[in-house]
């Protein structure tokens, strides 16, 4: 029983030693580096950023994402239901209608609270 865990332990040790070995070897072999402006930049490709990166995002994006998430999940449930609709029968139909009504109430509420407006 415990020998099974030896594999995991070995894997763990290997996982630690790999990056250590790679970084350690690189530290030994590489030439002494000097920090310069180019090297301290976050990415060495693409265009330079204009202005500060600490900007405020509108909370509307978040609200949209929340409403979107609910309907994304709805689609995931609806899709297999639609594919197998013929063999599922009336019970599944009523079940899905109940599910949709509950989601619809949620949408109505989000609408009332102004989550769908952009300001």
Partner 1 sequence: MLSLLLPEIITASLGVLVILLAVILPGKGEKTVQTLTVAGLVAVLFLAVKIGVDKEVLFNGIYIIDAYAGFFKILFLTGAILVILSSANYVKNFSGRISEFYGFMLFAVLGMMIMAGAGDLLTLYIALELMTISFYILVAYVLNRETSKEAGLKYLILGALSSGILLFGISLVYALTGTTVLSEIGSRLTLEPALISAVILILAGFGFKIALIPFHMWTPDIYEGAPINVTAFLAVASKAAGLAAMVRVFISSFQLGFFDWQLILALLAALTMIIGNLVALVQSNIKRLLAYSSIAQAGYLAVGLVAANEYGLKGILFYSMVYVFANLGAFAVAVQVENDTGSNEIKDFGELGKRSPFLAAVMTVCLLSLAGIPPLAGFVGKFYLFSGAVEAGYVWLAFIGLLMSMISVYYYLNVVKVMYIGKSPKETFPAIEPSARLALWICLLLTVFLGIYPYPLTLWTGNAVKLFLG
Residues that bind partner 1 in the complex, under the rule CB under 8 A = 1-2, 5, 101-102, 105-106, 108-109, 112
The vertex-117 CA angle with 119 and 103, nearest 5°, equals 150
Tokens describing residue 96: 């899905």
For residue 10, the minimal CB distance to partner 1 (Å) is 15
**Least distance to partner 1, CB of residue 112, Å:** 5
- CB 3 to partner 1: min, Å: 12
Task: Please say which residue, 13 or 22, places its beta carbon nearer to partner 1.
Answer: 13
Task: Give the residue with the Cβ less far from partner 1, 64 or 99.
Answer: 99
């Amino acid at each position: 029983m415990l020998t099974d865990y030896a594999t995991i332990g070995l894997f763990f040790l290997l996982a630690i030693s790999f990056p250590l070995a790679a970084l350690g070897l690189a530290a030994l072999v590489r030439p002494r580096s000097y920090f310069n402006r180019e090297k301290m930049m976050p990415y060495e490709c693409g265009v330079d950023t204009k202005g500060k990166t600490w900007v405020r995002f509108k909370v509307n994006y978040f609200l949209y994402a929340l409403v979107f998430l609910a309907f994304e999940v709805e689609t995931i449930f609806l899709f297999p239901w639609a594919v197998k609709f013929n063999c599922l029968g009336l019970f599944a139909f009523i079940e899905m209608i109940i599910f949709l009504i509950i989601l619809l109430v949620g949408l109505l509420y989000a609408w009332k609270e102004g989550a769908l407006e952009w300001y």
